């Protein structure tokens, strides 16, 4: 299931430099416009100093950091504030206040999900990918990643879902239920052209729960299809990409060969 490719940036900052100057805003102190935005999904709201005549609020909307500036008349302005020379004034502050904890929570959930290792467990670069056993673009990504994986530079962690075909769940169950899950995953990829791994006769309650949790996590992170790729770039910032990486995006995901 291919999706339009998009790399989502600025999910994680290098450090919480401004955290000591801000805290989660108390509901009683929030302007009505911020409360209204909260009812529409604006979460993890923190106030930060924005200068005379403005109140600045950082938060998360649709898995992205967001800044809202409230004017003296109570109206809210959503977007980026620029300095006289055209530079973004609060970009680092917004990233530090909300993006780092958001990204850390995202990776914690991925770490705890039902994933299958592809590569060496001590490979320094970790790339998560939501994968369906029947997804041709997941297979293309697996194949394109071989130089990095075989060199021991990258470990892929396949968060398996069963969403494409009727037997996607039973193929995923065959992999997750195998004694050697990595070998079962590789069997599916190596036999992909001829149908992949033999589906399991049934899906156990335990594996069904894992697949359902993986699919919920995929949706929570904003992916509507597979592959859905999550990684850290060269600066340590978390990034998301939907679909098979194209052109320079493959190097961005995998790093140098």
% of the chain exceeding 90 in pLDDT = 64
* Mean pLDDT within 162-177: 97
| Confidence tier at 14 by pLDDT (50, 70, 90) | very low
| Confidence tier at 20 by pLDDT (50, 70, 90) | very low
* Helix or strand (DSSP H, E) at 215: helix 205-220
Is the pLDDT reported for residue 194 higher than 80? yes
Please count the CA atoms within 13 angstroms of the CA of 88 that sit on its side-chain side: 9
- For 212-237, how does the pLDDT look when each residue is reduced to its tens digit (9 = 90+)? 999 999 999 989 999 999 998 877 77
- For 83-117, how does the pLDDT look when each residue is reduced to its tens digit (9 = 90+)? 899 988 888 888 778 777 777 888 899 999 999 99
Is the pLDDT reported for residue 159 higher than 60? yes
Is the pLDDT reported for residue 72 higher than 90? yes
Which of 3-17, 57-71, 139-153, 164-178 comes out lowest in average pLDDT? Answer: 3-17
pLDDT at 25: 56
Q: Enter the pTM of the model.
A: 0.75
Number of other residues whose CB lies within 10 A of the CB of residue 166: 9
* Mean pLDDT within 53-77: 89
pLDDT at 91: 81
**Is residue 128 classed exposed, middle or buried when 0-12, 13-18 and 19+ CB atoms within 10 A define those classes?**
buried
**Is residue 38 classed exposed, middle or buried when 0-12, 13-18 and 19+ CB atoms within 10 A define those classes?**
middle
pLDDT higher for 96 or 203? 203
31 conformational bin, left if phi > 0, alpha if psi -120 to 50, beta if neither = beta
pLDDT at 26: 60
Chain mean pLDDT for the chain: 87
Three-state DSSP class for 231? strand
Is the pLDDT reported for residue 16 higher than 90? no
* Mean pLDDT within 184-203: 97
- Among 239, 11, 250, 247, residue whose Cα is nearest residue 154: 250
pLDDT at 101: 77
Could you give the C-alpha distances from 166 to 132, 134, 169, 187, 193, in angstroms and in order?
11, 10, 7, 19, 18
Classify residue 53 by its DSSP letter.
Answer: T
């Amino acid at each position: 299931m291919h999706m339009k490719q998009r790399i989502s940036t600025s999910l994680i900052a290098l450090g919480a430099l401004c955290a000591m100057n801000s805290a989660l805003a108390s509901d009683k102190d929030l302007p009505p416009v911020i409360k209204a935005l909260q009812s529409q999904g604006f979460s993890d709201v923190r106030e930060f100093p924005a200068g005379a005549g403005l109140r600045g609020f950082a938060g998360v909307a649709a898995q992205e950091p967001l800044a809202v500036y409230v004017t003296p008349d109570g109206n809210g302005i959503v977007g980026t504030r620029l300095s006289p020379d055209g530079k973004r004034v609060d970009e680092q502050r917004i990233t530090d206040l909300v993006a780092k904890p958001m990204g850390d929570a995202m990776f914690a959930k991925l770490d705890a999900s039902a994933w299958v290792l592809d590569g060496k467990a001590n490979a320094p670069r970790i790339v998560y990918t939501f994968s369906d056993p029947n997804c041709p673009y997941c297979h293309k990504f697996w194949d394109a990643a071989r130089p990095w994986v075989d060199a021991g530079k990258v470990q892929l962690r396949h968060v398996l879902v069963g969403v494409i075909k009727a037997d996607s769940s039973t193929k995923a169950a065959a992999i997750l239920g195998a004694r050697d899950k990595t070998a079962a995953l590789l069997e599916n990829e190596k036999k992909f052209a001829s149908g992949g791994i033999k589906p399991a006769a049934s899906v156990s309650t335990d594996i069904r729960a894992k697949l359902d949790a993986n699919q919920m996590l995929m949706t929570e992170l904003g992916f509507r299809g597979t592959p859905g790729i999550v990684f850290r770039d060269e600066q340590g910032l978390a990034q998301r990409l939907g679909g098979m990486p194209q052109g320079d995006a493959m190097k961005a995901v995998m790093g140098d060969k």
